[in-house]
Structure 1
């Protein structure tokens, strides 16, 4: 079976759905292909929730987050689904990181408070800190399962074709780019690779080598509905077990989600499930003993899913010939959701890549990357 589209998007996760939606708005014919099915538990764009925040140490991400929030609200209005739960966020940890966040947020007109330990405890009484930190209100939770369902419904209503579950066998470039799956051949003017941890192998097969390190991340949901209106947290560095920092946010209907900001090695492209790591969960509860000793301890659910690190923690959104790369999300892309679409659509339409996301940036090629690197942004 052979079909022709302006753009074929490989991967129907958050990046792929956002790209396809924006490209349909701009009049392009679109096909999406996903190996397991959009939002499948083996993929990166899965699970109950993701954090959202404007607290970044680079103005690009601050502005992207501020753009994402009204786009999420518009998607809520269009689909009738509850997606955002904004309760604010407290950031603490490395002073140089906090200073960078304050400078970046304020440089683009965002609001963020610098608070002492007492001010932080007033916001989150469970927190035991002696040092100062930050609070900002434009933060909280994206209900990711609802978000994925809403974005999928939106892109299908816009007329995109979605082939799932369907495995891509080959991407062929040249004068007539094609995506070959185990069921059909899709001809395209442009191919977008937004396949999460599978992106590296697909790109390598067509001679595009990028430094990507897939990892397996674990998240723990604490069963405590009374915590649902608390602010999220972000600890930058300082974990004595060498696992980087910790992040968390409230989840309506559950309580609170907590996780380390670094993943583990061991991702495999043909895995059929990700078994939870009880030792990592025990270390996370040990972190609670130190930082929030009176926080509830009842674990409702622990999940694992992959993410894909780059050496500098920034995404890759760039173009090589007829191929657009939308990968290397480094554990912090989901929150931007529909705001990611214009980044990819601009590449498809021939605009230059943002310097922070470009393949040729010095920080992408001068550093090494490992699966257990912590989230840097």
Structure 2
């Protein structure tokens, strides 16, 4: 094994969307950065692959809606810099009963932040979206700024931008060992690399890297079914149809969400925002327990509410979520080693926020004052993980 003695300002482990944006911010600020990825790029083993993700300002929490303002600007800036379209505005429709407390909270958040939105009464909802069949009495809250991010294009654009800015991207290099210190030493089968700081954005593999460093986060890795449903008439849920999220819980304890057809012509992406516990190495394991209950919930939802779709999924793919107990991110320093930074637990809603997440992780790694209040994202919020026990 040939040792590499080049000293980087930062080494980033994990080339999903969070790691890519972190490396991008480092490279933009003229830092020497190495981005390491265990799989050969592009790959579909983690949480950032596929063609589409939802972008929205509609959140119950002010801190996410606040962060999204800068995220939209950064997504537009990346589009401009790379000459690649990464976003399409479709609107984002929340469905729920008028008295639904979460719907009321989100409406109040949008109003406070001056985000353009419409409250659609049941009749207006039917007029706006005739090929959607809401539950009786159901209303709609439309975040007009919502839309689709082109996920795989964004990853490629970022990886190219990092390299054009002087950063190094090395794929097919699984991390074998991390030696804390000044500097941190990271060993892969190809060699050892040293960084003044280390940023871990390894998704479902985060705790495998943290355990030897004396830390473990309360992360749950879930295998998610990504389902595509064929339109009975091609184009029924195309360009004029919004992304949506149903707050109705009669079918199951988690949300159902959907995106208008893109990945596969004539198909709509409709998924359940939860899955089965799974080891990330067994994501595609054919012998693993069946996820049929999740798909059955979706069949019921499609049959009831999206009548112009076939009620059996045409394609089922797999993705991984890495969830924290409160579904808020971890953006913090290692409790013992202050030059090791952790970005984890993006809980199936982190893609849209990755431009600001990357900026925050860059700031933490360079010991700059963070641009945002990181109280909601600190490790210390988990009482059972007091810093002494880590």
1:373 aligned partner: none
Could you tell me which of 284, 309, 327 is aligned with 1:273? 284
* Unmatched segments (≥5 aa) in structure 2: 386-390
Contact kept, 8 Å, 2:275 with 2:291, in 1: the verdict is: no
Alignment of 1:266-305 (within 5 A): 267-271=278-282, 273=284, 277=291, 280-297=294-311, 299-305=313-319
How far apart are the structure 2 equivalents of 1:358 and 1:331? 18
**TM-superposition CA deviations, 1:241-287 (whole Å, max 9, x none):** x351201111435342110011211x224337355855543431221
TM-score calculated relative to the size of structure 1? 0.90
How far apart are the structure 2 equivalents of 1:249 and 1:44? 17
SS in 1 for 2:380: coil
SS in 1 for 2:111: helix
State the 1:4 CA deviation. 1.8
272 and 218 in structure 1: CA distance in 2 versus 1, 3 angstrom threshold: closer
SS in 2 for 1:36: coil
1:46 aligned partner: 49
State the 1:317 CA deviation. 0.6
The reply on whether 1:247 has 2:250 as its aligned counterpart is no
TM-score calculated relative to the size of structure 2? 0.87
| RMSD between aligned residues | 2.1
1:370 aligned partner: none
2:161 aligned partner: 154
State the 1:87 CA deviation. 0.7
Alignment of 1:328-367 (within 5 A): 328-350=345-367, 351=369, 354-361=374-381, 364-365=382-383
The reply on whether 1:202 has 2:219 as its aligned counterpart is no
Could you tell me which of 162, 174, 196 is aligned with 1:189? 196
**TM-superposition CA deviations, 1:179-236 (whole Å, max 9, x none):** 1112111101110000000001211210122111111111112344512220111112
The reply on whether 1:259 has 2:271 as its aligned counterpart is yes
How far apart are the structure 2 equivalents of 1:272 and 1:294? 31
**TM-superposition CA deviations, 1:63-90 (whole Å, max 9, x none):** 2222222322222222232211211011
Alignment of 1:363-374 (within 5 A): 364-365=382-383
1:124 aligned partner: 129
How far apart are the structure 1 equivalents of 2:340 and 2:83? 35
How far apart are the structure 2 equivalents of 1:274 and 1:303? 12
Could you tell me which of 142, 145, 149 is aligned with 1:142? 149
2:388 aligned partner: none
State the 1:140 CA deviation. 1.6
Contact kept, 8 Å, 2:275 with 2:294, in 1: the verdict is: no
**TM-superposition CA deviations, 1:129-179 (whole Å, max 9, x none):** 322231111112111111111111111111111111110011111233111
State the 1:237 CA deviation. 4.8
SS in 1 for 2:379: coil
**TM-superposition CA deviations, 1:6-60 (whole Å, max 9, x none):** 1000000000000000011122110011111344111111112111111101111
SS in 1 for 2:75: helix
State the 1:303 CA deviation. 1.0
How far apart are the structure 2 equivalents of 1:86 and 1:14? 20
1:37 aligned partner: 40
State the 1:298 CA deviation. 6.8
